[in-house]
Structure 1
Amino acid sequence: MNGSGRSAANPYRVLIAGGCYSGLAVAVNLLEKCDTIESPIPVEITIVDERDGFYHVIGSPLALASKTYAEKAWVNFKNIPVLQRPDVRFVHGTVSKIDPESKTAVILEQPDKAERSEAYDFFVAASGLRRVWPVVPQSATREDYLEEAGRHINAVVNSTAPVLVVGGGAVGIEMAAELKEVQPHVNVTLAHSRDKLLSAEPLPDNVKECALELTQQTGVEVLLNHRLKSSTPIVKDDGTEVHEVEFENGHKMIASSVVMAISRSIPSTDYLPAESLAEDGRVNVRPTLQLSSDKVPNADTHFAVGDLINWSGIKRCGGAMHQGHYAGLNIHQIILQEMQGKEPVFSTISPVPPMIGLAVGKNALSYGGEGMKHGKEVMRVFFEEDLGFRIVWDHLRLGGKKA
């Protein structure tokens, strides 16, 4: 027994809502700190996620173009080696509400939404943004996801008319380019409502122009200033269904499939106290990633990380993992303070300037502090051959040795 009265029978309970980049980073980095041989700290981590596995969201454009890659992009939680240990539990379900004062959460478990209460010492909101299909698959199980992705891939592979991707943000560009790269026989058209791609992002014009050039180099036809007005399914004489598409500028076309790549992302934060949220639903945090509101009881032991926080910068996987890392370190510091009376030394995140990494077929574009770079070497460094899956897997040490 240590000074705080904690033991294997009475561990620190950490509840993490969300098992993607930031949530898994919290778990892995906290466990690494608590596993120190000299003075191991008893913790019990519970990760709640609507999916039954880790889904590599960045890989969506390729997962929805290649069945082989789709198999790789979703890994059941039970098959992540580093987290197969007695002090880590995965719950397939949703956190529906938390009470910061009593430090309890209400969890709705899949598949029947059975409700149960879960007590915790530390809570981490890492549930990200709710994104629509086909920006991300909507399935809750790997089996359903493979079926969902397979149906989509079959529809585009067997297309007789062009596949129309609507939305020239990062998702639309990558989706159109990957589809053309993997299925070169398919005609792919990307339509965007503005006069430049990436128009919603705070990026310089040369980055947006480069994105256009790289997209066109893949063989994708790009229609700028084309806002979708209507898409009407019609059945041809041979029984196949196509879409009669009209744009607000009067241009019409026939498309075999219309892929809406406009993300309309909504923060998944309904379970958090309203006092902790900004107007758009994102979570207000301190640079330590603790909740910033003084109206939330026990705000010091409640953290938020990843895409759902109200922080500067374009949402990126690297930023989410970095924040998860820091939250794990900061929880460890609070535990040490309780156990040993040490004043915590917190890791803090800084304001994030606009930066982006964009995969476009065989090339990639990057923009950040060192300006813009593009080409095959940028693709290798940022994404390798699998849209960053191996880079993320190894960075999070998910294949690490079992305890």
Structure 2
Amino acid sequence: MTVDVVNAAIPATQYRVLIAGGCYGGLSAAVNLLEKCDAIDSPISVDITIVDERDGYYHIIGSPLAMASKAYAEKAWVEYKNVKILQRPNVAFVQGTVANVDCENKTATISEHKTQKTRVESYDFFIAATGLRRVWPVVPQALTREAYLKEVGAHCDKVLNAIAPVLVVGGGAVGIEMATELKYISPSVQVTLAHSRDKLLSAEPLPNMVKDCALELTEQSGVEVLLNHRLASQTPTKDADGSDLHEVEFTNGHKMVVSEVITAISNSIPSTAYLPQSALNSDGYVNVEDTMHFPAGVPNAESHFAVGDMIHWSGIKRCGGALYQGKIAGWNIHQIMLQQLQDKEPDFLRLGENPPMIGLAVGKNAISYGQEGMNYGPQVMQLFFEEDLGFRIVWDHLQLGGSTK
């Protein structure tokens, strides 16, 4: 493995921004920062490098639908070369992994996937937006669009052609959406959702009326729900025709034979191993300030930001939160640039405390809960997700298909 060092001299007004993570938070930061730096009255020269393990933008919240529809899966992953708004000379995408960040020297070690080379990249500002590590099949594990379509396609073939029930284990938001999307796409497939607790969404700080509504809508969608059912074992078996099946047993003694077992318990962990321990809490989340800066005490904390699911903050982790945090990071970096170039006092955006809120797709219906209370029904589905689990909403919000100006 070779090591290249990238540390060329640049003009004083040319800023280098390195973003780790090319999903909601990272792309939002890039798009918003470029918009500010492109201002006609005071343009600022900036080079942005976005590093991601995948070769494209993947709409993570669309995973439950991608796991049930090959046609949708084609849409949900867009190679970065086709994200039009970021096809410009001062934006570069690197498919790779940020292995280490040296905050004191403002350098990052990047391992490139295609070349198998490691290089050290210098930056003026760094944004961590690498999110959480989520296991299969909560999200696909493939790193290229081609491999992803094969991975998801094979899964779709199994569940859509199931001759016995498909068992989804885990009654959190992911499990509910995976079960109900499969049933919505293919009503003839028997789908069972098993949850170890006495209410769905048991891990979320939501009122019982939301959890009870989630149960009612899930059952209305045609999914059988088994509460207080913790999976104990699964044993391969075959039917009379020799087709592969699984005999599953729960800790309460209940047994059933199923075609597929989908584990929708993510056990997600923050993807922060490359960051200094001084920036993290005991669970590995970044202890950001309300400006999205790294915590005081980290060297050059004023030049380092973190956004999205990897940060330690109040509220339920959501796509909308990551998009807004990316906007804050982009805005605040621009404010620091103005301070350095024009001696302007920075006017930082700040993130407030987030009360529990959720948008949950349940087949043809959806539930929303926030400070305004709870709403549910097809109209909520249309407002929050439309027909593609929010793909168009996010795509157009970030203008990823190109500027709307």
TM (normalized to structure 1)?
0.97
The amino acid that maps onto 1:69 is Y
Residue in structure 1 matched with residue 4 of structure 2 by the alignment: none
CA–CA distance in structure 1, aligned partners of residues 314 and 66 of structure 2: 29
Q: Is 2:13–2:44's contact at 8 Å kept on the other side of the alignment?
A: no
Distance 1:87 1:348 in 2: 27
Is contact 2:13–2:341 with CA below 8 Å preserved after alignment?
no
Amino acid at match of 1:40: P
The 4+ residue runs of structure 1 with deviation greater than 4 A are none
Distance 1:195 1:113 in 2: 49
Secondary structure of 1:190 counterpart: strand
Check whether the contact 2:170–2:263 (CA below 8 A) recurs between aligned residues: yes
Q: Is residue 163–residue 186 contact of structure 1 (8 Å, CA) maintained in 2?
A: yes
Matched residue of 1:244: which SS?
Answer: strand
Shift of 1:178: 0.1
SS at match of 1:233: strand
Question: Which residue pairs with 2:174 in the alignment?
Answer: 171
Pairing 1:1-400 to 2, within 5 Å after superposition: 7=11, 11-111=14-114, 113-294=116-297, 296-400=298-402
The structural deviation recorded for 1:389 is 0.4
Question: Matched residues in 1 for 2:258 and 2:135: separation?
Answer: 21
Equivalent AA in structure 2 for residue 58 of structure 1: I
Secondary structure of the equivalent of 2:305?
strand
Secondary structure at the residue paired with 1:359? strand
Work out the CA distance in 1 between the residues paired with 2:286 and 2:356. 20
Q: Note the residue ranges of structure 1 that are not aligned, 5 or more in a row.
A: none
Q: Distance in 1 between matches of 2:122 and 2:140?
A: 31
Deviations 1:239-287 (A, max 9, x none): 3211110000000000100000001000000000001000000000100
Distance in 1 (alpha carbons) for counterparts of 2:199 and 2:20: 37
Task: Give 5+ residue unaligned stretches, structure 2.
Answer: 1-8
Q: Does the 8 Å contact 1:82/1:402 carry over to 2?
A: no
Amino acid at match of 1:78: K
Aligned residue type for 1:377? Q
Indicate if the aligned counterparts of 2:360 and 2:368 stay in contact, CA closer than 8 A.
yes
The one-letter code sitting in structure 1 at the alignment partner of 2:123 is Y
Letter in 2 for 1:398: L
The CA distance in 2 between the partners of 1:38 and 1:57, in whole Å, is 37
Secondary structure (helix, strand or coil) at the match of 2:289 reads coil
The answer to whether the Cα contact below 8 Å between 2:168 and 2:179 also exists between their aligned partners in 1 is yes
Q: TM-score, normalised by structure 2?
A: 0.96
Number of equivalences: 397
The alpha-carbon deviation at position 233 of structure 1 amounts to 1.6
* Conservation of the 8 A alpha-carbon contact between 1:275 and 1:293: no
Deviation of 1:38 after TM superposition, in Å, equals 2.1
Letter in 2 for 1:364: A
Q: Deviations over 1:113-144 (max 9, x none)?
A: 32111110000000000000000000000000
User: Which residue type is aligned with residue 288 of structure 1?
Assistant: T
Residue pair 1:122, 1:302 contacting (<8 A) in 2 also: yes
* SS of the residue 1:282 aligns to: coil
Q: CA offset at residue 37 of structure 1?
A: 1.4
Instruction: Give the deviation of 1:10 after TM superposition.
Output: 6.2
Q: Deviations over 1:176-201 (max 9, x none)?
A: 00000001110000000000000000
Alpha carbon RMSD of aligned pairs, Å? 1.4
Alpha-carbon distance change, 148 to 88 in structure 1, aligned in 2, over 3 angstroms: same
Aligned residues with identical type, % of pairs: 68
Distance in 1, matches of 2:41 and 2:345, equals 20
Q: Give the counterpart letter for 1:132 in structure 2.
A: V
1:231 deviates by 1.1
